[in-house]
Copies of this chain bind each other. A is one copy, B any other.
């Protein structure tokens, strides 16, 4: 149950079978830092090339293909006071041929982040939007484990191994489950957003460097197909693909598997329950693979006596 401190010296823009920076055991926790999407650290210095650079990977002792890796985020919090966002909705999120009529040519907006008050406020460009303070909800946009088949997959995109899911539910307090594809799982973490709207439709949240503390565990011999997660209120299954329809298919199928295998529901009950109680969140509709999240209330599961095995 060791607590490790790791100060990164290098980063990766693909998630793959890289040399581990630290070997940790189940039950251990790690405190480390992540740079922002452009490779800038807590002092706003660029220390590595842009593109959602990842801290890690962390080798989890005992993790083998076919296991499930459990990652509990104890802390995800910005470690500087300036963030930035892109300033235009991506063309593929708007009707084809609908071109915005901007009167400026500003590519980046700057945001002041008040770590004490827990708020962010846009400081440039000049805009009525600068009048308001948004509450911080810091999340990790991109994290995951080494994928199967000797792949190294760009941190621009996502798949069964996680990656650039840009889902604003991945905040501190969340626990995320990953399929393990390689010995040690090789966990990578990065790309904090201080705030993000659904869909990450401008292509960024409020991008910022961060302190991250996480704990790990293993479920030996239990294989999952897609990332799963939970927080105090919900269990969640994540689908990463294109188009969004396919994300929904993956996430819903994974939720049915979860409910029927781990929670012991018969298939009919799982379908009936989802039919009237399911909720979906849009992770991102910006990256090469989009993300949809299928959620079920823990309270409902408790009330019907569905207990996790």
Contact = CB atoms under 8 A, between A and B. Distances in A.
Interface stretch (A8-16, A33-41, A172-180): A8-16
Contacts of A14: 149-152
Contacts of A305: 128, 131
A154 interface: yes
Contacts of A285: 245, 248
Interface string A148-164: 11111111100000000
Nearest to A290: B245
Contact of A280 (B156, B196, B199, B241): B199
A72 B249 CA distance: 35
A269 interface: yes
A115 interface: no
Interface string A90-114: 1111111111111110100100000
A303 interface: yes
A202 interface: yes
Interface string A272-283: 111111111010
A249 B96 contact: yes
A262 interface: no
A244 interface: yes
Nearest to A16: B152
Given A131-B304, A272-B127, A198 B89 contact: no
Contact of A93 (B129, B148, B249, B300): B249
Contacts of A106: 268
B198 A278 contact: yes
A249 B95 contact: yes
A249 B198 CA distance: 14
28 contacts: A14-B149, A51-B149, A87-B275, A88-B271, A91-B97, A92-B97, A92-B245, A93-B249, A93-B252, A95-B249, A100-B267, A125-B268, A128-B265, A129-B269, A129-B304, A132-B304, A134-B276, A153-B153, A196-B276, A199-B278, A201-B252, A201-B278, A202-B275, A242-B242, A243-B243, A243-B245, A245-B290, A280-B282
Given A14-B150, A92-B249, A93-B252, 17 more contacts: A12-B150, A16-B151, A85-B276, A89-B271, A92-B97, A95-B249, A109-B272, A125-B268, A127-B266, A127-B268, A149-B154, A151-B152, A197-B275, A198-B279, A201-B278, A242-B242, A243-B244
